[in-house]
Structure 1
Amino acid sequence: MANGSRQAAWEFFGAELKRWREEAGLTQVQLGDRVFVSGGHIGQFEQTIRKPQLDVAQRIDEVLQTAGFFERLWRKLIKEQPYTEYFAHAVELERLATEILQFAPTVVPGLLQTPQYARAVFLASNPLATDEYIEELVRGRIYRARILKDATRPVYWAVLHETALRIPVGDAGVMTRQLDHIAALMRERKVLVQVLPFAAGAHPEMGKMMMLMKFEDAPPTVYTEGMRSGSLLDEPTVVRRIQESYDLIRAAALSPEASLALLESAAEDYRRCASTT
């Protein structure tokens, strides 16, 4: 489904939600209270600013007695978008975030990846996939990164463990271009990147990827990812603890200037390796 038709389908979802809510005689706040989200979230669902998660769509069906209509429509729309179901909501929130804070323990984050690096990552996970399938995944990943080029881009602050710089994803040429790309974004002041060096030793949330997203008119949300699964966390106590862990990781990381120097040094190492092969 093309982006335009998918957006139109979500607008239909929002319009139907508003129609059913008003027929039930409920305000946005009243419906939000019954499905355990804020009234502001209901308004954002109706205006297609934000997409609900599956459990919210299911609770809307229960409250409005719509016999599973919103769940079925949600499943159809999610199935026809280019991201896995568990990640689709995180992608939607990325577009709305005013600030994105990310920790990447082993792999360069998707928003910073080059097409060549992304292709190598996807091929490692899908060794028998067709070229067409791999290229579709790569296009989806690179499309996401457009938010870093927008005039209204969010503040993006990433901490990469040195492991992500040293694991050769693809060949030396791929890694050279990847690290050059991150360095260029840093020099253009489009992103803030720090490197957590091996020398830092133990650190909070070891081995766990996290992405903390903050918004203008909604509480912060954390996305974490595991084996073929992902979770969005917005319980205030949990988010606060994760923010504390992220702050400790940032404090242990190299300064942005020292991080840039390490990135460029690693890129030169790969460049020399590529020139000898």
Structure 2
Amino acid sequence: MPGPKDLDPSSSPRALLGAELRHARERKGLSQADLGEPLFVSGSFIGQLEAGTRRMHVELAVQLDEILGTNGFFTRNCTALARSRYPDHFAEAAEAEAVATAIREYAQLLIPGLLQTSAYAEAVFRAYKPTAPDTEIAELVTARLQRACLLDDPTTPLLWAILDEAVLRRPVGGGPVMSEALDHVAELARGHRVIVQVLPFAAGAHAALTGPLKLMDFEDAPSLSFVEGPDMGKLLDDPATVKRHTLTFNLLQASAHSPQDSLALIESVAQDYGHGEEHP
């Protein structure tokens, strides 16, 4: 029987690679736990690979080819998929985001990437990389905007964003850029495509003072959380950690303005920026 054909890395690559892993495992008559044992990973981790919610690293792909007798298939395709358009610390999270059924995100300082406009994203990347050539900045902006294409589906994924009030008050790119950016967020909220809340300064101390947080749910795999800092990020699947981060998000929801009041505030601040107020 011929082996599976190589995947086109441009078309839902991780989901396709995961499906091939499931087929190859089942042909061998192995359970997820059986396959995980010689790899020193859990059956749950194998399930996440098959569901496309976790990235398959090259070292693991080599072992899978040996165990499953797939003649280098996973090694070849995994090597191709490793060439991500995203920074190394965020690539796995971006790929998981693309197959999530629900995304809940607390943004501490910036409008979340999925909700950014081109001008806002350009201002952010230019601040990160002040000496980078324009072509590099343009590529980063394009990659960020392409991530937002998952919102083209009218219902999936559910996106629930909690924005710290600092996100609204920091004039990234200046007044016109902020006015456009906040109008874009408000438009998505008015169109019932996303749920947005604002966590006001008046809330004082809250459950996520240490940094931003992203939670992702999937149809056929356990939930994940993602935490990040300067040039670093970590995708977490430990159930106790994800449970704790879920509680953190729930506490933020309780402290934030309602979606209706949040929309009114976002629109008001956008209008102030539009009238030339740099610090509304």
TM range (shorter): 0.7 to 0.9
Residues 21 and 64 of structure 1 are in contact (CA less than 8 Å); yes or no, is this contact kept in structure 2? no
Counterparts of 2:215 and 2:15, CA distance in 1: 27
**Could you say which residue in structure 2 is the equivalent of 1:36?**
42
Bigger drift between 261-270 and 173-182 goes to 261-270
The reply to whether residue 58 of structure 1 matches residue 64 of structure 2 is no
> Relative to structure 1, is the Cα distance of residues 103 and 119 closer, same or farther in structure 2, using a 3 angstrom cutoff?
same
CA drift at 1:225: 0.8
> TM-score, normalised on structure 1?
0.84
The reply to whether residue 153 of structure 1 matches residue 160 of structure 2 is no
CA drift at 1:147: 1.1
The secondary structure found in structure 1 opposite 2:121 is: helix
> TM-score, normalised on structure 2?
0.83
Correspondences of 1:6-17 after superposition (within 5 Å) = 6-7=10-11
CA drift at 1:215: 1.1
Counterparts of 1:15 and 1:153, CA distance in 2: 21
Deviation digits for residues 121-146 of structure 1, max 9, x if unmatched?
A: 00001111111111111111011111
Counterparts of 2:241 and 2:222, CA distance in 1: 12
**Could you say which residue in structure 2 is the equivalent of 1:189?**
192
The secondary structure found in structure 1 opposite 2:276 is: helix
Residues 162 and 198 of structure 1 are in contact (CA less than 8 Å); yes or no, is this contact kept in structure 2? yes
The secondary structure found in structure 2 opposite 1:189 is: coil
Residues 28 and 43 of structure 1 are in contact (CA less than 8 Å); yes or no, is this contact kept in structure 2? no
CA drift at 1:53: 4.3
Q: Give the counterpart letter for 1:252 in structure 2.
A: S
**Could you say which residue in structure 1 is the equivalent of 2:264?**
261
Deviation digits for residues 22-54 of structure 1, max 9, x if unmatched?
A: 79774444113443242533543xxxx445343
Counterparts of 1:77 and 1:6, CA distance in 2: 9
The secondary structure found in structure 1 opposite 2:159 is: strand
Counterparts of 2:27 and 2:217, CA distance in 1: 34
Counterparts of 1:122 and 1:188, CA distance in 2: 28
More helix per residue: 1 or 2?
1
Counterparts of 2:151 and 2:16, CA distance in 1: 29
Gaps of 5+ in 2: 1-6
CA drift at 1:58: 2.9
CA drift at 1:77: 2.5
Q: % of aligned pairs identical?
A: 42
Counterparts of 1:11 and 1:263, CA distance in 2: 36
Deviation digits for residues 183-232 of structure 1, max 9, x if unmatched?
A: 11111000000000111111012041110001111111001111101100
CA drift at 1:6: 4.0
The reply to whether residue 133 of structure 1 matches residue 140 of structure 2 is no
RMSD, matched Cα: 2.8
Q: Give the counterpart letter for 2:195 in structure 1.
A: L
Report the count of equivalent residues.
Answer: 264
> Relative to structure 1, is the Cα distance of residues 51 and 202 closer, same or farther in structure 2, using a 3 angstrom cutoff?
closer
Counterparts of 2:175 and 2:258, CA distance in 1: 26
Gaps of 5+ in 1: none
The reply to whether residue 232 of structure 1 matches residue 235 of structure 2 is yes
Counterparts of 2:252 and 2:19, CA distance in 1: 43
Q: Give the counterpart letter for 2:109 in structure 1.
A: T
Counterparts of 1:205 and 1:191, CA distance in 2: 21
Residues 24 and 64 of structure 1 are in contact (CA less than 8 Å); yes or no, is this contact kept in structure 2? no
